[in-house]
Amino acid sequence: GDSHVGLQARLMSQALRKLTGTINKSNCVVIFINQLREKVGIMFGNPETTPGGRALKFYASVRMDIRRIDSIKQGDGITGNRTRVKKVKNKVAPPFKQA
């Protein structure tokens, strides 16, 4: 039980440490997709958190928050989703822009 606490976070940290140099040399892009979880009992601040520890947030060059705002309807059927994309972190351009 206790040995599994934070196991995924430790594995992500070790893997990202090894991968960053190789990714940089090979001049490629790696995209990680994660989900939001809600912390229980948070009074102040943002109750949303991402699983897997802090390593992914630290090593990322660009982080985007993508949320569904509305459904796009055509006739009586739903054909798509309207989304809002917010840059949460950007090491290569000005951050916090929204589209």
> Which pLDDT score, from 0 to 100, does residue 26 have?
95
> Which pLDDT score, from 0 to 100, does residue 95 have?
84
**Angle ∠(15,96,82) on CA atoms, nearest 5:** 90
Same-domain status, 48 and 84: no
pLDDT at position 3 over 80: no
What is the residue range of 20's domain?
1-60
Count of domains observed in the chain: 2
pLDDT single digits (tens) 23-68: 989 989 999 999 999 999 888 998 998 888 899 999 999 999 999 9
Same-domain status, 52 and 79: no
If you average pLDDT over residues 82-88, what whole number do you get?
Answer: 94
Asked if 87 contacts 70 with a C-beta cutoff of 8 angstroms, the reply is: no
Same-domain status, 50 and 8: yes
Model confidence, pTM: 0.77
Same-domain status, 51 and 71: no
Same-domain status, 67 and 47: no
Same-domain status, 86 and 42: no
Coil, strand or helix at 21 = helix
What is residue 33's DSSP assignment? -
In angstroms, the CA 20 to CA 25 distance is: 9
